[in-house]
Structure 1
Amino acid sequence: MPTNIKLTLSYDGTNYHGWQIQRDLPTASGTLKEAILKLTGEEVQLIAASRTDAGAHALSQVVNFKTSSLLPVSSYPKALNAHLPQDIVVYAAEEVDGNFHARFSAKKRIYEYVILNLEYPAPIYRNYAHWVEERLNLKKMKKAIGVFIGQHDFTSFTSSAGGGKNPIRKIDKISIYEHKDFIRIQIEGDSFLPGMVRTIVASLIEVGLGRLDPVKVKQILEARDRALTPPPAPACGLYLAKVKY
């Protein structure tokens, strides 16, 4: 009987066209799948907790796959890392119940968005934080957070790729932290629509810049009209921070 293996990994998404495999394009999933093939000799089906966007990163992505390989589970992290580029690192592996599904078994997902709020951009962070030149008003941004908490129809905050999916989602918590010139927005919820986190962040940035009133954010949410929201914030600042089971 095949063994169900759960991997936890981190990756720098700069050089990848997202998680999901795409023909003739480098993806995090495709790169990991190739490493597993080299290690086990098997073409496996990878199931991930989240399909991150092109250019987005993961501090803690969770995947599972079934294999007939007799390799000890404890050997997977180092053995796979030997076949992976330096921008993808597997740091945990365990055998799980056959019914475990990295996506559907997940209870909560936590995303983090990093903003560099500085007069001039910092080249070293260009792929890892979204630069916003004008000073953001965190007090106003925090005031707008409450609009998103709870279960809502997030049609206004999803990309066109979300067409056909149930737009009802529940957000448990949004926190905003400031440390020197960096602002971190952390969002926790059951699941998210395509582009949802980045569009929420973009709206909060508009509030922080004084271009969008916190009261207006509630009206946009209730309107269920994607045309009313700003374009999603750049993917470079987005991180899948944690998946809870």
Structure 2
Amino acid sequence: MNIVIWLSYDGTRYDGWQKQENTDKTIQGKLEAVLERLSGASVKVHGSGRTDSGVHALGQVANFHLEQELEAGKVMEYLNRYLPEDIMVWNAQEAPERFHSRLNAVRKTYRYQIEMGPKKDVFQRRYYYGLGQRLDIEKMKAAAVLLTGTHDFKSFCGSRRMKKSTVRTIEEIQFIQPEALRLHISFTGNGFLQQMVRILAGTLMEVGLGKRRPEEMSRILKARNRREAGFTAPSEGLFLEQVEYGDFL
């Protein structure tokens, strides 16, 4: 049977999503260890995307196949009983046999959180990038308009060895201020390259700080060169917020 789960995690102490041989501190590794304990056999967990070290998730989606027939709700209960406290499965259901959480995803939303005040809140410090400077959000919005749509985002890709297509579609970039000195930037698109959201966030922050002009975004896209874009924003401010599947689920 094929089970799909929705989960949240605090990525602070993890080396990212993907299981690695040199560390046991990965989200995928923790899930697979518990599922192997449940099933008595090796279980491969497929995530909708590979979040980097230190990146958080509110709505990561993953699927896995089990040989025995088990109620999805019971599997969720077992996972939550034995997973660390910073990983929680909040929904589970049986999926069509051919469903794949990464291949069938049609839309993803990431959120980057920035603290513009002089010091981060003690209880939120793990979830915000402490920029410590005010941003010109109107200029950032002007730059975001030029980044929205279907483009070759090679300049915003952290992998120099990327051989596959770097064309992606960003449907929307939103700017939300939950408080006067806090800014959330939300990116919704059909897919994102390695570190793409963090590089986009870093570039937009440079616009907001007056280090770049909004109209430079067109030139950066055309350059297809990572060195032309801005800095890679730190991982602690990034959340995978939602993954959508259209008619698949």
The structure 1 segments of at least 4 consecutive aligned residues displaced by more than 3 Å after TM superposition are none
Residue pair 2:7, 2:61 contacting (<8 A) in 1 also: yes
Instruction: Give the secondary structure class of the aligned counterpart of 1:36.
Output: helix
Which deviations, in whole Å up to 9, do the C-alpha atoms of 1:187-240 show, x marking residues without a partner? 011111001000000011001111110011221111111111222100101100
1:157 alignment counterpart = 156
Residue pair 1:6, 1:94 contacting (<8 A) in 2 also: yes
1:120 alignment counterpart = 119
Distance 2:170 2:41 in 1: 38
2:147 alignment counterpart = 148
Over aligned residues, Cα RMSD in angstroms? 1.2
Q: TM-score, normalised by structure 2?
A: 0.94
Residue pair 1:156, 1:225 contacting (<8 A) in 2 also: yes
Change (3 A) 1:162 1:179: farther
2:49 alignment counterpart = 50
What percent identity do the matched residue pairs reach?
38
Q: TM-score, normalised by structure 1?
A: 0.96
For 2:237, the aligned partner's letter is: G
Residue pair 2:110, 2:186 contacting (<8 A) in 1 also: yes
1:131 alignment counterpart = 130
1:41 alignment counterpart = 40
Distance 1:158 1:54 in 2: 16
Residue pair 1:49, 1:61 contacting (<8 A) in 2 also: yes
2:109 alignment counterpart = 110
1:220 alignment counterpart = 220
Instruction: Give the secondary structure class of the aligned counterpart of 2:205.
Output: helix
1:22 alignment counterpart = 20
2:171 alignment counterpart = 172
2:200 alignment counterpart = 200
1:42 CA drift (Å): 2.1
Instruction: Give the secondary structure class of the aligned counterpart of 2:150.
Output: strand
2:61 alignment counterpart = 62
Distance 1:190 1:27 in 2: 25
Distance 2:231 2:143 in 1: 18
Instruction: Give the secondary structure class of the aligned counterpart of 2:240.
Output: strand
Which deviations, in whole Å up to 9, do the C-alpha atoms of 1:29-80 show, x marking residues without a partner? 1011111111222211111111101000010111111111232222122211
1:125 CA drift (Å): 2.4
Distance 1:16 1:120 in 2: 24
1:136 CA drift (Å): 0.6
1:119 CA drift (Å): 1.8
1:162 CA drift (Å): 5.5
Query: Unaligned regions of 5+ residues in structure 2, if any?
Result: none
Kindly tell me the number of residue pairs found equivalent between the two proteins. Answer: 243
Matched, 1:243 2:230: no
Instruction: Give the secondary structure class of the aligned counterpart of 2:12.
Output: helix
Instruction: Give the secondary structure class of the aligned counterpart of 1:112.
Output: strand
Residue pair 2:120, 2:128 contacting (<8 A) in 1 also: no
Query: Unaligned regions of 5+ residues in structure 1, if any?
Result: none
